[in-house]
A and B are shown apart, each in its own frame.
Chain A
Amino acid sequence: MSEKAAHLPTALRENPCISTWLQFLDHRVRICTGKVELGQGISTAIAMIASEELDLAMDQIEIQTGRTDRGPNEFITAGSMSIEGSGAAVGHVCADARLILLNMAAAHFDVSMATLVVSNGVITNPLGNEQISYWQLLDGTQIEQNADGSGNRKPSAGYKIIGHSTTRTDLEAKLTGKPAFIQDLAFEKLLHGRIIRAPGAHDRIISADLTGAEKLPGMIKVVRNGNFIGVLASDEYTAIQGKALIERDLKWSPGHDQILPGDVPGFLKENVTVSLLVEDGTPSEKPIPPFMVATDGEQISANYTKPYHLHGSIGPSAAVARFHAGHLTVYSHSQGPYVLRAALAIALGMDSQAITVIHKENAGCYGHNGADDAAMDAALLALACPDRFISLKWQRVDEHLWEPFSPAMAVSLSASLENGRIKYWNADIYSQSHMGRPVPMRNASNLLAAWQIIPPIPRAQARPGMAAHGGIHRNADPYYTFTGKRITKNLVSDQRVRTSSTRALGAFANTFAIESFMDELAIKAAQDPVQFRIRHLTDARAINVITQTANQLATYPFPDQESMVFGRGIAFARYKNSKCYASVGIILGVHIETFTIKLLQGFITADAGQIIDRDGLSNQLEGGMIQAASWTLKEAVRFSEHHSSSTNWDSYPILNFEEVPEITTTLINQPGSPSLGAGEATQGPTPAAISNAVFDATGVRLRDLPFLPEALRRAALHD
């Protein structure tokens, strides 16, 4: 392998053949990415990169997202890695393809390559009197060579598309009622499926009366396999009615005596399975050193908590499947088509070569939701009713009850202040797993239905992630310089409440805790919180994003309103300590009688390296801030004795249109430097900025999410 090839992005080294990524079709080019569209606009950003490197118009590019029968395997679309990974891979593969095509054209015209001009895939000779296109050069063939990095990417100074804004490629269909989502797939003689389950993942069905559903006109089949029940009907409403009839008389027994004790932080701290030391963002099994305390400093401690959250996609999970001639085809909005295929193969006892998984978009996805489980559900129904396409949809209550939750977390921090600086930092972080994805495992499964069929496949035991900034410990290590840090992650492997990945994983709670505590320490040290942060930073890019937001906050005038008190707050994080730098500022008011928090204005300053899609980047940062504000102000899964009682949007409210602040976003471009993942960058700073602003307004410090009016009233009474 050449030195250049060795430095290519991992995804390209693992899938080196150019034709895996690029296919030249009739005056168009199809780009195959292994990543998937989650509503984040990745298709548009990748099309922009290809358009730039191959000198093609945006409308000459078609993006094919992840599917197991075509294109590269890029594992899972998660962790803000798609631009850095797939984006870079597509950039390099296009640069190599361009070099190959220009060499062919130079030979064709018998001129030197440097004299050729390319526009919209058409190459013009130096005299300007002859042209040949990419498609003519290839004459129906594809580029079967391996990418080796010999085609240099264009210099950033000349970018015409990258770094600018464009119209999203996927929006027109979505805005005009054309087929766009997995729910819109149409097939001849499509059957409609629904699933019936007891509310908890490990509840057992004692009795189920299927006869009423079976007698409905239009009902094709009622499938029962252990604790898994599905209905298949020729029309959707019959399937819905069948589900309702079976649920009405369903008798079940709980899988656990009690789903959760009332005191969740206490439960987490008392049920630790394994404790690991985290150094430089990475866990290890080294002995955990004693608590670090400065001999002549002041020791300050605080505890922060977050509850369980839902992903709460607006479109419940769905899948389409067909089992035909021994082959299972599944359309799914899973984040990892190849991973899902392997997990399905194990759970269904099939050869993975007999399964094709094709990604098809659903409503916005913010982590491991019900997508993979719905794919398994659809596969089971398809196997029970061969040769027919099955459209399986979860209903709202299904999604709320069955999707894996974002785990509750407790973060205990303690620091020594000495001479106005933080000397030692101690952090103990408690959480269930953020990694419940259905990655293929021998004799185990993380697919919901796999635990319910006969014979059941055992559930995988939660294990601690050991990668840098993996799950619980993502952003646990502050980006600040202290004399000493002692950080532990403490995994609670109890999975009575099923948990998995949600946007930013542990970084949401960890950054909430760190950045709230930084303000608390600054105030103890009688220093300005912005200057206090800067004193502990060495990275100029970090200081820059903080300073810009601080200046905007300082000059924003509070409104004149007697019923409210106003405050401003700031917080910062560099996502995973290696990706996008982001600071978030908040101006808010607290109503003096109702204790309601009203967000008035948000500020974001972000440095994500070389910007690809300027508008898409702002959209992700602002959307992340609003979503995190919703988590902060409103969201918590509530539990009854045996399961969640947050079964709809009334019992799990999220931020609405009247509660959303205006946001001003400042992007700092770094032309020519690597692009840094940004899709989760504002998630962590937002709750801390809000907490700091509430303190600024009221003098009350909130450390337990969500910040409901009752919580603020209680805290105000205690202060």
Chain B
Amino acid sequence: MTYTLTLNGQTRNVDAGGDTPILYILRDQLRTLSPRYGCGAEQCGACRILVDGELTYSCTTTLIDVADRHVTTVEGMAPDNSQHALQKAFLSLNAAQCGYCLSGIMISAFSLLQKNNAPSREEIQAALVGHLCRCGAHNRIISAIKLAAAMLRSETGPSS
């Protein structure tokens, strides 16, 4: 059956079973590689995406659940051919070891920064508690999110 969804602002038609987890649709059919499989059970966060702006585990959310809705992945955080402040900050601080967990983490941070433009260490830690990093890059990741928040604040200027 054919389903329609909006992926990073573009309308996409997908021909697949409605019970297929959206993770495999994104990666294999739509070749959107940033969400990554880690556990298939909402325990590690590597697959996280936004569906209509809500944080969602793509490994357990099915195609039919996202039909006619807006899906945002890391590829869609910034307009075409540009990098979001989060990507710039993670790059400039080498905020990674292997980097496998980072797409999901950046999506959670993207969601956090929309609600809180100057999160504290504790607020970032709380926002990332559903994400596992096995390499121990946690502190760099927290620093990068703080840096991204500062970059975004300076882009938008002081709030009125």
**Interface assignment of B159: CB less than 8 Å from any CB of chain A:** no
Determine the distance from Cα of A172 to Cα of B88 in the docked complex, in whole angstroms. Answer: 9
**Given A168-B94, A312-B134: A396 in contact with B99 (beta carbons within 8 A):** no
A625 within 8 A of B: yes
Number of B interface residues at 8 Å Cβ cutoff, please give it.
56
Inter-subunit contact B97/A236 (CB<8 Å): no
Residue B102 at the A interface, CB < 8 A? yes
In contact, A393 and B37 (Cβ under 8 angstroms): yes
B36–A619 touching, CB < 8 Å = no
A297 at the interface (CB under 8 A from B): no
Asked if B17 contacts A171 (CB within 8 A), the reply is no
Contact pattern, A 319-361, Cβ under 8 Å of B = 1, otherwise 0? 0000000000000000000000000000000000000000001
- What's the least CB distance linking A156 to chain B, in Å? 23
Tell whether A39 pairs with B99 under 8 Å between CB atoms, given A314-B44, A316-B37. Answer: yes
Q: Is there an interface contact between B43 and A615, defined as CB atoms closer than 8 Å? A: no
Are A172 and B132 in contact (CB-based, < 8 A)? no
Contact B136–A658 (Cβ < 8 Å): no
Produce 1/0 per residue, A342-384, CB < 8 A to B: 0000000000000000000111111000000000000000000
Q: A177-B74, A235-B16, A649-B39 are in contact. Are A363 and B90 (CB under 8 A)?
A: no
Check B46 against A314 for contact (C-beta < 8 Å): yes
Give a binary string over A373-414; 1 marks a CB under 8 Å from any B CB, 0 the rest. 000000000000000000001011000000000000000000
- Contact across chains for B106 and A175 when beta carbons are under 8 A apart: yes
B14-46 near A? 1/0 per residue, CB < 8 Å: 001100110010011001111011111101101
Bin chain A's interface residue count. Answer: 35 or more
Of A176, A184, A313, A393, the contact of B74 (CB 8 Å cutoff): A176
CB distance from B82 to the nearest CB of A (A): 10
Contact digits for B66-95, partner A, Cβ 8 Å, 1 yes 0 no: 000000011100000001000100111010
Residue A626, interface by CB 8 Å? yes
Residues of B within 8 A of A361 (CB): 98
- Please tell me if B3 contacts chain A, counting CB pairs below 8 Å: no
Whether, in the assembled complex, A183 has its beta carbon less than 8 Å from a beta carbon of chain B, the answer is: yes
**Chain A CB within 10 Å — which of B24, B97, B98, B101 has the most?**
B98
B46, closest chain A residue (CB): A314
Contact B20–A237 (Cβ < 8 Å): yes
What's the minimum C-beta distance from A192 to chain B, rounded to whole angstroms? 8
Question: Separation in Å of the B143 CB from the closest CB of chain A?
Answer: 10
Check if A177 sits within 8 Å of B139, measured CB to CB: no
Interface SS of chain B: helix, strand, loop or mixed? loop
Contacts of A719 in B (CB 8 A): none
Report whether B131 and A41 are in contact in the complex, using a CB–CB cutoff of 8 Å.
Answer: no
**Chain B contacts with A in 114-151, Cβ cutoff 8 A:** 121, 124-126, 128-129, 131-142
Which B residue's beta carbon lies closest to that of A665?
B139
Question: Which of B41, B75, B121, B139 lies in contact with A176, CB distance below 8 A?
Answer: B75
Give the distance in Å from the alpha carbon of A237 to the alpha carbon of B40 in the complex: 12
Output the least CB separation between A469 and chain B (Å). Answer: 23
Contact call B20/A315, Cβ cutoff below 8 A: no
Interface flag for A672 (CB, 8 Å): no
| B96 contacts partner chain A, Cβ-Cβ < 8 Å | yes
Given A235-B28, A648-B41, answer yes or no on A175-B97 (Cβ-Cβ < 8 Å): no
A671 proximity list for chain B (CB < 8 A)? none
Residue of B nearest to A613 (CB): B94
Contact A181 B100 (CB under 8 A): yes
Q: Is the CB of A623 within 8 A of B135?
A: yes
Instruction: Give the residues in chain B near A656, CB-CB below 8 Å.
Output: 129, 131-132
- Across-interface contacts of A111 in B (CB, < 8 A): none
Query: CA of A186 to CA of B16 in the docked complex: distance in angstroms?
Result: 19
Per-residue CB proximity of A157-179 to B under 8 Å, as 1/0? 00000000101101110111111
Interface centre among B17, B32, B41, B96 (most CB of A within 10 A): B96
Minimum Cβ distance to chain A for residue B132 (Å): 6
A548 within 8 A of B: no
B56 interface contact, C-beta 8 A: no
Complex Cα–Cα for A650 and B41 (A): 10
**How many angstroms from the CA of A363 to the CA of B92 in the assembled complex?**
21
Asked if A315 and B136 make an inter-chain contact with CB atoms under 8 angstroms apart, the answer reads no
Q: A363-B98, A623-B135, A660-B139 are in contact. Are A175 and B44 (CB under 8 A)?
A: no
Chain B CB within 8 A of A622 CB: yes
| Given A396-B39, A649-B132: A184 touches B97 (CB 8 Å cut-off) | no
A39 nearest in chain B by CB position: B98
Distance in Å: Cβ of B52 to nearest Cβ of chain A: 20
Which single member of B91, B98, B129 contacts A657 (CB below 8 Å)? B129
Whether A314 pairs with B74 at a CB distance below 8 angstroms is no
Docked pose: A654 CA to B131 CA in angstroms:
11
Q: Is the CB of B96 within 8 A of A174?
A: yes
Residue among B46, B126, B133 with most chain A CB within 10 A = B133
With A177-B73, A181-B100, A648-B39 known to touch, is A627 a contact of B20 (CB < 8 Å)? Answer: no
Report whether A314 and B100 are in contact in the complex, using a CB–CB cutoff of 8 Å: yes
Residue numbers of A with Cβ under 8 A of B are 38-41, 165, 167-168, 170-172, 174-181, 183-184, 186, 192, 235-237, 240, 312-316, 361-366, 393, 395-396, 615-616, 619-620, 622-627, 630, 648-650, 654, 656-658, 660, 662-663
10 of the cross-chain contacts (CB-CB < 8 Å) are: A39-B135, A41-B94, A167-B94, A175-B74, A179-B33, A183-B37, A236-B27, A314-B133, A627-B134, A649-B132
Which residues in B have some Cβ–Cβ distance to A below 8 Å? 16-17, 20-21, 24, 27-28, 31-34, 36-41, 43-44, 46, 73-75, 83, 87, 90-92, 94, 96-103, 106, 121, 124-126, 128-129, 131-142
Pick the 3 closest A-B CB pairs, nearest first: A39-B98, A626-B136, A623-B136
